Structure 1
Amino acid sequence: MRSVISLLGAFIAAAVFQTGSCVETVIGLYGETIEVPCNNGNNKPDGLIFTKWKYVKDDGSPGDLLVKQAQKDEATVSATDGYKSRVSIAANSSLLITQGSLVDQRVFTCMVVSLTNLKEYSVEVKVYKKPSAPVIKNKAKELENGKLTQLGECVAESANPAAYLIWMKNNQPLVDDGKTIIITSAITKDPATGLSRTSSRLQYTASKEDVESQFICTANHVMGPDQVSEPETFPIHYPTEKVSLQVVSQSPIREGDDVTLKCQADGNPPPTSFNFNIKGKKVTVTDKDVYTLTGITRADTGVYKCSLLDNDVMESTQMVTVSFLDVSLTPTGKVLKRLGEKLEVSLEKNASTEAKVTWSKDNRKLDELPDFSKLTYSDAGLYVCDVSIEGIKRSLSFELTVEGGPKIMSLTKRRSNDGKHKILTCEAEGSPKPDVQWSVNGTNDETSYFNGKATYKLTVVPSKNLTVSCHVTNKLGYDSRDISVFSLFEEHKSKPEKNEHGAEQAKVIVGVVVGLFLAAALVGLIYWLYIKKTRQGTWKTGEKETGTSEESKKLEENNHKADV
């Protein structure tokens, strides 16, 4: 077919080829102007007198068409039949026939007459027409499984030569086997135009697998390319061979859900009514294929069935499992306990499958629940227990409060970084949060409270040595502790303390103690020298070696200053 198409293309490009009998053949298009060449354009010998075109009539007799004198520009048409108004001659002496039709399929002869010779060149003309697109007519409404049925008739109109039709299923050609596939083709001609009509009837034995098969008809022609019909599909009728029950519900099925049972059969047309077996009870539904269970419970777990109305043996079963989860937590809500007491926590669960348990405290996940055998302040918080199975989750909680009377854990002091203040820190435990009261006034109070631990800070500027008390109270009791604070003015006289609780403070204390001993020794030496001088040479037997009352008073004052 490709060679024919190439030949046609060559014709359209005004190419001409020779036949084996020295009669050229040219192909023209139906309805178009046909150009018949005269010796491929080599037709003007020396001494040319005229060129004449003639043809062979239907009865075999010759007929004249036109004559072109060498000395004249116009040709003289001599035809008296239908060619009279359709023929003319080109500059290269080719015969031009307008509105080509099948009547033009004949032999035309170009006669070239010169002073010395007369030559004739015969050309056979063939006229081709591409068929209209094929159409499938008289289609079957449905096909029956295993039964030979006429599927349809394919028709390709108005072609020359006649088109060749091919039936195809899913793009694969169907071959007539005389049994399951029978193809009958016929060609008829239009008496007015002579164009051919090709028809092809397909008898086909369908199977269930042909439900989605596509059938087309392809028209093959020398004018190419192939043309195809619109694809056709056909319903296939076959009896039910299998019933299928489906559970239409989100998975998993939970208590309270609505569950729809859907029964389907593979027959075509499909059955529209079914019997449902609802845990031993037969329920018939008509003109539909579903049955709905509303508000399903765990007691509805079991095997369900559906079957055809007229055939209970052809049935399908499905197991319906209803998921459930029951959870009980002790305690719940707000729980108040005293410091050191015991708290017992119990969790009971009943589930359709193994449940997963997780605990969290104040939105932080716990690896396990703490030991509540002896409660501490840090045990207080909101505990949430999440219990879950696939599709179901339960959350229970209790909020634990641990109370206890206040107790001061430490009371410390330190010098500020700039050395101008003393910062007192009182740390206490208790719940509810203890209130604090200092025995002196201060500034820049700082307070923090977490897990029952409170920290209170007070900044003071002691102008003299003080004893400062920290008092903490809540509804369950109170506690108090004292601390000595030295005057900043006296501390300036000694080496600055870098840390009153560190090594520097220890050095200061040791220095003060040693200084007091040295001062006492010095006072004693001075006193001894003084007595010796005042009493030198006046010792008496039995006299007490004591000083005067003024001397004793001065000695006591010096001792007191050394202590401070």
Structure 2
Amino acid sequence: MQSVICLFVAFIAVAVFPPGSCVQTVIGLYGETIEVPCNNGNKMPDGIIFIKWKYVRDDGTPGDLLVKQVAKDEATVSATDGYKSRVSIAANFSLMISRGSLTDQRVFTCMMVSTSNLDEYPVEVKVYKKPSTPVIKNKAKELENEKLTPLGECVVESANPAADIIWMKNNQSLVDDGKTIIIRSSVTKDKVTGLSSSSSSLQYTAGKEDVTSQFTCTAKHQMGINQVSAPETFPIHYPTEKVSLQVVSQSPIREGDDVTLKCQADGNPPPTSFNFNIKGKKVTVTDKNVYTLTGVTRDDSGVYKCSLLDNDVMESSQIVTVSFLDVSLTPTGKVLKKFGENLVVSLEKNASNEAKVTWTKDNRKLDKLPDFSQLTYSDAGLYVCNVSIEGIRHSLSFELTVEGVPKITSLAKHRSDDGKHKVLTCVAEGSPKPDVQWSVNGTNDETSYVNGKATFKLTVVSSKNLTVSCLVTNKLGYDMKDINVFSLFEEDKPKQEKNEDGTEQAKVIVGVVVGLLLAAALVGLIYWLYIKKTRQGTWKTGEKEAGTSEESKKLEENNHKADV
């Protein structure tokens, strides 16, 4: 036996039963066995002889169903109509009605006879039927924007009692306002089963925002959980009010790129064909809304438009800018220059917008390009110029080599740390890197070459005074310098407090003094001779003195010697 779901409701039956009679109500399910309890389901009192179930026919007359004598196991069915094969009695004396239908909605009475009393317990039976799932029928193909349009009809079938229908949009209830929303509901009964079918029609004034709205209808019934129809969406028909042109391409657009123009309109159904204005030239496309420019150049920059086929006034435009960057650098590649020469670097650029320029030398960033008006060895290196705008970058370079005849800029000496050697340092500038030759043997301690500057060191044992030469050479020429190196033995004498440089300076001073004294003596001698000659001339009177020719000749010879 199937389980029965019952709802007990107590009320006063005024029409059928005398005042004071208590009628119990039982709710059974359509198509299932209905259990009608006797004595409100309470325990039977002692002394019961038999139980009799009877009912009220449709015409109001009483009818018997069955009798159960307590002393016997079987009940006697006395019904002669449709209940004959559908009624039985349970162990607790409840009336069991199989295959419940709406004809079972009536009052059944349990008559309980005992040795001392006779009691009757009337029970009203109601039969409920869960409705079918609601379905939206006669759906509109489309809705008119801002126009009241029949949307559809919600149908809920085979229910008892009849189901209530609620229209929903996006899970929100719609309320009939008599203007923009009109709802009409009705209920019909099946003549055979007596079950009710509910239907509800909806007229709705849609807007553009309803393109994505979901409409449903809900069946609300006394059986419990509400049932909801499958959601429905409807296209909203409205004319085009706006056209928009979209440039479909990576940004920025560069020369050689493909650019797609996409035209869209807000009408529904949307237009499928458009006119494209390609820099003054009209191009019509049908059954699509795109036009592609292949391999664009800088000349393709400009204003592009699209419009409806039947309305050129309704159009949209976009500016297409094709980015470009032309760069020229002078010089490039390998550049060879002489020390002290001038190098002119020229950078020419042509770009669609302001270009950014950066320089590096040997991979190190420069704040600006150096002044190359007089090249030095430190100017040599690899120079890279990076020129860029958004999306485009060019790199150009030149490798500068500065060559020159080597020139010694310094030749110095000092004692080694242990005091047993002399260390000579010869510094020369030149490129290619100079080679060095010393006029004495020694130990080459260190050689370096940075930015055209070469440093050579030689360690020697100075056992006697030497004049040492440093000779530097490369393929372009040579240079040489000498330095005097005094023996360590001379420097270590206790009486000699001055260094070698001080001694040499003293010698120079003494030589200058001696030279000045000799010059003064020479000047004195010349002055004396001049005075002597002058005095001899004063002895002459202009008259010819008497004397022999030999004396005169001898006197002239003496005067001549004095002049010499």
TM-score range, shorter chain: 0.7 to 0.9
Q: Give the equivalent residue in structure 1 for 2:255.
A: 255
Q: Give the equivalent residue in structure 2 for 1:388.
A: 388
Q: Give the equivalent residue in structure 2 for 1:513.
A: 496
What displacement does 1:345 show? Answer: 2.2
Give, in whole Å, the separation in 2 of the partners of 1:296 and 1:224.
Answer: 68
Contact 2:441 2:460 in 1 (8 A): no
Give, in whole Å, the separation in 2 of the partners of 1:316 and 1:182.
Answer: 40
What displacement does 1:114 show? Answer: 1.0
Give, in whole Å, the separation in 2 of the partners of 1:395 and 1:445.
Answer: 43
1:394-413 correspondence runs (5 A): 394-410=394-410
What displacement does 1:319 show? Answer: 2.2
Contact 1:328 1:349 in 2 (8 A): yes
Q: CA RMSD in A?
A: 3.2
Which range is displaced more, 367-376 or 469-478? 469-478
How many equivalent pairs are there?
A: 487
Summarize the Cα distance change of 1:59–1:395 in structure 2 as closer, same or farther, 3 Å threshold.
same
1:235-314 correspondence runs (5 A): 235-314=235-314
The amino acid across from 2:188 in the alignment is T
Give, in whole Å, the separation in 1 of the partners of 2:108 and 2:423.
Answer: 131
Deviations 1:99-152 (A, max 9, x none): 333222211111111111111111111122221221112222222334433322
Summarize the Cα distance change of 1:410–1:199 in structure 2 as closer, same or farther, 3 Å threshold.
same
Contact 1:51 1:110 in 2 (8 A): yes
Contact 2:40 2:121 in 1 (8 A): no
The amino acid across from 2:33 in the alignment is T
Q: Give the equivalent residue in structure 1 for 2:190.
A: 190
Give, in whole Å, the separation in 1 of the partners of 2:421 and 2:72.
Answer: 136
Contact 1:16 1:40 in 2 (8 A): no
Contact 1:134 1:227 in 2 (8 A): yes
2:132 counterpart of 1:141: no
What displacement does 1:435 show? Answer: 2.7
2:2 counterpart of 1:19: no
Contact 2:427 2:456 in 1 (8 A): yes
Contact 1:462 1:486 in 2 (8 A): no
Contact 1:404 1:430 in 2 (8 A): yes
Deviations 1:296-340 (A, max 9, x none): 333333322222222222222222233333333232222222222
Contact 1:334 1:399 in 2 (8 A): yes
Q: Give the equivalent residue in structure 2 for 1:542.
A: none
Contact 1:420 1:461 in 2 (8 A): no
Summarize the Cα distance change of 1:338–1:90 in structure 2 as closer, same or farther, 3 Å threshold.
same
Q: Give the equivalent residue in structure 2 for 1:167.
A: 167
1:103 aligned counterpart, secondary structure:
helix
Q: Percent identity?
A: 80
1:83 aligned counterpart, secondary structure:
helix
Q: Give the equivalent residue in structure 1 for 2:379.
A: 379
Summarize the Cα distance change of 1:481–1:103 in structure 2 as closer, same or farther, 3 Å threshold.
farther
What displacement does 1:33 show? Answer: 3.0
Summarize the Cα distance change of 1:469–1:77 in structure 2 as closer, same or farther, 3 Å threshold.
farther
Q: Give the equivalent residue in structure 2 for 1:229.
A: 229
Which range is displaced more, 295-304 or 356-365? 295-304
Summarize the Cα distance change of 1:175–1:468 in structure 2 as closer, same or farther, 3 Å threshold.
same
Which range is displaced more, 233-242 or 295-304? 295-304
Give, in whole Å, the separation in 2 of the partners of 1:435 and 1:347.
Answer: 38
The amino acid across from 1:51 in the alignment is I
Summarize the Cα distance change of 1:398–1:56 in structure 2 as closer, same or farther, 3 Å threshold.
same
2:127 aligned counterpart, secondary structure:
strand
Q: Give the equivalent residue in structure 2 for 1:338.
A: 338
2:496 aligned counterpart, secondary structure:
helix
Summarize the Cα distance change of 1:403–1:194 in structure 2 as closer, same or farther, 3 Å threshold.
same
Give, in whole Å, the separation in 1 of the partners of 2:436 and 2:67.
Answer: 138
1:513 aligned counterpart, secondary structure:
coil
List gaps (5 residues or longer) in structure 1.
1-10, 495-507, 517-564
The amino acid across from 1:142 in the alignment is E
The amino acid across from 2:321 in the alignment is T
Give, in whole Å, the separation in 2 of the partners of 1:109 and 1:486.
Answer: 150
The amino acid across from 1:477 in the alignment is G
Which range is displaced more, 127-136 or 449-458? 449-458
Q: Give the equivalent residue in structure 2 for 1:521.
A: none
Give, in whole Å, the separation in 2 of the partners of 1:85 and 1:413.
Answer: 139
Deviations 1:377-405 (A, max 9, x none): 22111112222222222222222111122
Give, in whole Å, the separation in 1 of the partners of 2:187 and 2:414.
Answer: 120
2:41 counterpart of 1:41: yes
Q: Give the equivalent residue in structure 2 for 1:126.
A: 126
The amino acid across from 1:17 in the alignment is V
Which range is displaced more, 79-88 or 187-196? 79-88
Give, in whole Å, the separation in 1 of the partners of 2:493 and 2:123.
Answer: 143
The amino acid across from 1:513 in the alignment is Q
Summarize the Cα distance change of 1:219–1:411 in structure 2 as closer, same or farther, 3 Å threshold.
farther
Give, in whole Å, the separation in 1 of the partners of 2:27 and 2:68.
Answer: 24
Contact 2:24 2:40 in 1 (8 A): no
Contact 2:436 2:472 in 1 (8 A): yes
Give, in whole Å, the separation in 2 of the partners of 1:16 and 1:418.
Answer: 123
Which range is displaced more, 231-240 or 389-398? 389-398
Give, in whole Å, the separation in 2 of the partners of 1:99 and 1:444.
Answer: 123
What displacement does 1:190 show? Answer: 2.8
Give, in whole Å, the separation in 1 of the partners of 2:384 and 2:467.
Answer: 48
Contact 1:43 1:112 in 2 (8 A): no
2:59 counterpart of 1:59: yes
1:23 aligned counterpart, secondary structure:
strand
Summarize the Cα distance change of 1:461–1:402 in structure 2 as closer, same or farther, 3 Å threshold.
closer
What displacement does 1:39 show? Answer: 2.3
State which structure, 1 or 2, has the greater radius of gyration over its C-alpha atoms: 2
Summarize the Cα distance change of 1:153–1:414 in structure 2 as closer, same or farther, 3 Å threshold.
farther
Which range is displaced more, 317-326 or 418-427? 418-427
Which range is displaced more, 255-264 or 360-369? 255-264
Q: Give the equivalent residue in structure 2 for 1:548.
A: none
Summarize the Cα distance change of 1:435–1:55 in structure 2 as closer, same or farther, 3 Å threshold.
farther
2:25 aligned counterpart, secondary structure:
strand
1:433-512 correspondence runs (5 A): 433-438=433-438, 446-456=446-456, 462=461, 470-481=470-481, 511=494
Give, in whole Å, the separation in 2 of the partners of 1:265 and 1:194.
Answer: 54
Summarize the Cα distance change of 1:470–1:19 in structure 2 as closer, same or farther, 3 Å threshold.
farther
Which range is displaced more, 115-124 or 290-299? 290-299
The amino acid across from 1:237 in the alignment is H
1:223 aligned counterpart, secondary structure:
coil
Summarize the Cα distance change of 1:336–1:461 in structure 2 as closer, same or farther, 3 Å threshold.
closer
Give, in whole Å, the separation in 2 of the partners of 1:509 and 1:59.
Answer: 157
The amino acid across from 2:333 in the alignment is G
Give, in whole Å, the separation in 1 of the partners of 2:326 and 2:387.
Answer: 9
List gaps (5 residues or longer) in structure 2.
14-21, 500-564
Q: Give the equivalent residue in structure 2 for 1:534.
A: none
Deviations 1:2-50 (A, max 9, x none): xxxxxxxxx84x6633123321112122233322222233352232212
The amino acid across from 1:59 in the alignment is D
The amino acid across from 2:199 in the alignment is S
Give, in whole Å, the separation in 2 of the partners of 1:245 and 1:31.
Answer: 64
Give, in whole Å, the separation in 2 of the partners of 1:454 and 1:157.
Answer: 107
Contact 1:16 1:37 in 2 (8 A): no
The amino acid across from 1:364 in the alignment is R
